[in-house]
Structure 1
Amino acid sequence: MDVKKTTQQVRESSFGWMIKRLAARLDDEMNANLAPLGLDLASFAIMMTVLERSPLSQAAIGERLQMAPYKVSRSLDTLEALRYLARHPDPASRRAHVIRPTDLGQRIAPQLYAVVSGVNGKLAGPLSEEERRDLAGLLTRMVVAQDAWTAAE
């Protein structure tokens, strides 16, 4: 057996290896396209989550995104400084805050959607529309299955 050749074949046919390479490229593209808005991937994820599910507590954001509390806090500080999000007292808890998008945060939402669309389009460039739909469906099934595995653990 040619160990080098077999190792290369195993690596190059590995879903994990391929997904990791694509994810790294996607992260780089997203960060480059978000930078003009003052955002990075963490703040973008928080922004999209708050736009979709506001109002949310800081803890709920961290849980939803599986992000460490310190990272959520730092990103919220940045988003607040940019005036995209605001912390408001939580009526249910004297110690907590709820996070809501500001008017400016809502106005930049279309720019965020355009970044996602542009980066996804670039990443999926070699695929036909039908292949893109098929890939999205397959990835969705894999994510749903992974979520089910995680819930069962």
Structure 2
Amino acid sequence: MNKESIGKLLSSAHRQNQKRLGKMLAPYGIGTGGQHSFLINVIRRPGITQEQLTQELKFDKATTARSIKQLELSGYIERKPDPDDRRSHLLYPTDKAVQFWPELQAILNRNNQLIARHLTKEEENRLIGLLQKLYFEDE
């Protein structure tokens, strides 16, 4: 049996997921590259810094900066000077982001349903467990 590599399959699944999410989020001015992940974290933790986002989401600093800038231009995030560190800014969700939050959750839930549409609930839970095991293995 010809078995495809795990890395190739994960990469392909990731690209397909990003493409689908991009189409679902484009009408709201949210692009690909994990912008929704940054927005989620700013909504959940108002006052978070870019540095904290970079570390927690495991993106590089340039990706974080680009995503935050785009979310700011789209009206979802605002930066405020950090009173404890003049070189740093704290990130806050705007009213637009807070109002969009339920819709974003619905889009992400719909995307997860599409990803798992051919799996049984047992297979879905097993896949989640296996992927978590792979992801956290190198921590």
- Cα deviation, 1:60-95, whole Å, max 9, x if unaligned, reads 222222333333223222212222111011011112
Identity of aligned residues (%): 28
Question: Does 2:34 match 1:29?
Answer: no
Q: Based on CA coordinates, which of the two structures has the bigger radius of gyration?
A: 1
CA root-mean-square deviation = 1.8
Q: Tell me how far apart the structure 2 counterparts of residues 20 and 67 of structure 1 sit (CA, whole Å).
A: 16
Structure 1 consecutive aligned stretches of length 4 or more whose deviation exceeds 4 Å: none
Q: TM-score, normalised by structure 2?
A: 0.87
Q: Tell me how far apart the structure 2 counterparts of residues 127 and 85 of structure 1 sit (CA, whole Å).
A: 36
Q: Tell me how far apart the structure 1 counterparts of residues 65 and 137 of structure 2 sit (CA, whole Å).
A: 30
Question: Does 2:51 match 1:59?
Answer: yes
Q: More displaced, 126-135 or 71-80?
A: 71-80
Where does 1:11-30 land on structure 2 (aligned, <5 Å)? 12=4, 14-30=5-21
Question: Does 2:79 match 1:87?
Answer: yes
Q: Secondary structure at the match of 1:108?
A: helix
Q: Tell me how far apart the structure 1 counterparts of residues 128 and 58 of structure 2 sit (CA, whole Å).
A: 22
Alignment match, 1:49: 41
Q: Secondary structure at the match of 1:146?
A: coil
Higher helix share: 1
Q: Tell me how far apart the structure 1 counterparts of residues 119 and 131 of structure 2 sit (CA, whole Å).
A: 15
Asked if 1 retains the 8 angstrom alpha-carbon contact of 2:30 and 2:74, the reply is no
How far residue 146 of structure 1 moved from its aligned partner, in angstroms, is: 2.9
Amino acid in structure 2 at the alignment position of 1:53:
R
Alignment match, 1:76: 68
CA change 1:68–1:140 in 2 (3 A) is closer
Asked if 1 retains the 8 angstrom alpha-carbon contact of 2:75 and 2:96, the reply is yes
Q: Tell me how far apart the structure 1 counterparts of residues 138 and 25 of structure 2 sit (CA, whole Å).
A: 28
How far residue 19 of structure 1 moved from its aligned partner, in angstroms, is: 1.1
Q: Tell me how far apart the structure 1 counterparts of residues 133 and 58 of structure 2 sit (CA, whole Å).
A: 20
